[in-house]
Amino acid sequence: MTPAPPPLVLLVDDDADSRELYAIGLQLFGFELAEVDSADAALLFIQDAPRGPDVVVTDLTMPGLPTVELIQKLRSDPRTRMIHTIVLTGMTHGQRLDAVRTAGCDAVVTKPCLAEDLAQHIHTVLGSR
């Protein structure tokens, strides 16, 4: 029997340094990583990838398609509705946070966040369904 592959995490952030920092850290905790720089690119990755992500970790504020719309699109499509979503943000309250929660994100994590803490949040949401 072939062992299951590690969970695939798609990091979505327009800041390359943030993506790299989290990618390196999460790989140390046993996750497989893919990275894109926008919500639009995330949708294309999910559409084209032979194996979709188990979790999308996305920054809240990026140019292009708003994060709330990314989550809405994932939740409204039967092929992607089971992909977990975690929003990373420096915000602690506000309409954008309310909107992503209403859209169905699995967790909101406040920055700064250590890779170890983010890995724990990922494990938590993966065990929630």
The model's pLDDT over 83-92, given as tens digits with 9 standing for 90+, comes to 999 999 987 7
Sequence-distant (≥ 6) Cβ neighbours of residue 50 within 8 angstroms: none
* Residue ranges of domains in the chain: 8-126
The model's pLDDT over 52-84, given as tens digits with 9 standing for 90+, comes to 999 999 999 988 999 999 999 999 999 999 999
Distance, CA of 109 to chain centre: 11
- At residue 123, φ and ψ (nearest 5 deg) are -60, -40
Q: Quick one: pLDDT band at residue 116, thresholds 50, 70, 90?
A: very high
CATH for the 8-126 domain, from 1.10.3720.10, 1.10.10.10, 3.40.50.300, 3.40.50.2300: 3.40.50.2300
Rounded Cα distance, 41 and 35, in Å? 9
Rounded Cα distance, 129 and 92, in Å? 26
Rounded Cα distance, 54 and 13, in Å? 17
pTM: 0.93
Cis peptide before 78 (omega within 30 of 0): no
